[in-house]
Amino acid sequence: MAYLYNELALASVWRTKILEAFNQHPTLTLPKRYPREWIANCIKVGYGQHAFEYLSRYLYRGVLPDKDIISITNKSVTFKYVDSETKTIQKRNLPILEFLWLVL
């Protein structure tokens, strides 16, 4: 029963923080249909060593190498990437939250 309470409390806190972040940012919007009830599964299964080992195989280089980040300010991130269609190097500048959504 304690796990169920923790899951409900965690889901409530997570939902509140996400919705608050969206409401504070003028260019981000939620999809028209998003769940009204959120579930967070927070059952302890160990110390995370196996998860870290599993994820490290996929994330050890990162999504965007540090060398490709050109500049970071308080408001935006400028980075370069290879366009998959034209195979040319492109630059892109995004507000920080949009950049984080892109990386995630």
Distance CA 21, CA 15 (A): 10
Q: What is the pLDDT of residues 41-83, one digit of tens each?
A: 666 666 777 777 776 776 666 678 888 999 999 999 999 999 9
**Mean pLDDT confidence for 24-45:** 74
Q: Give this prediction's pTM.
A: 0.45
User: With contact defined as beta carbons under 8 Å apart, do 40 and 14 qualify?
Assistant: yes
Q: Of the ranges 23-37, 63-77, 86-100, which one carries the lowest mean pLDDT score?
A: 23-37
Length of the chain counted residue by residue: 104
pLDDT the model gives residue 71: 94
Helix (H) or strand (E) holding 55, with range, is helix 49-59
Q: Rg (Cα) of the chain, in Å, rounded?
A: 18
Cα-flanking dihedrals φ and ψ of residue 79, to 5°? -145, 165
> pLDDT exceeding 90 applies to what percent of the chain?
24
Average pLDDT, the chain: 79
pLDDT level of residue 94 (50, 70, 90 thresholds): very high
DSSP reduced 3-state for 70: strand
pLDDT value, residue 1: 43
Range scoring the smallest mean pLDDT among 3-17, 20-34, 85-99: 3-17
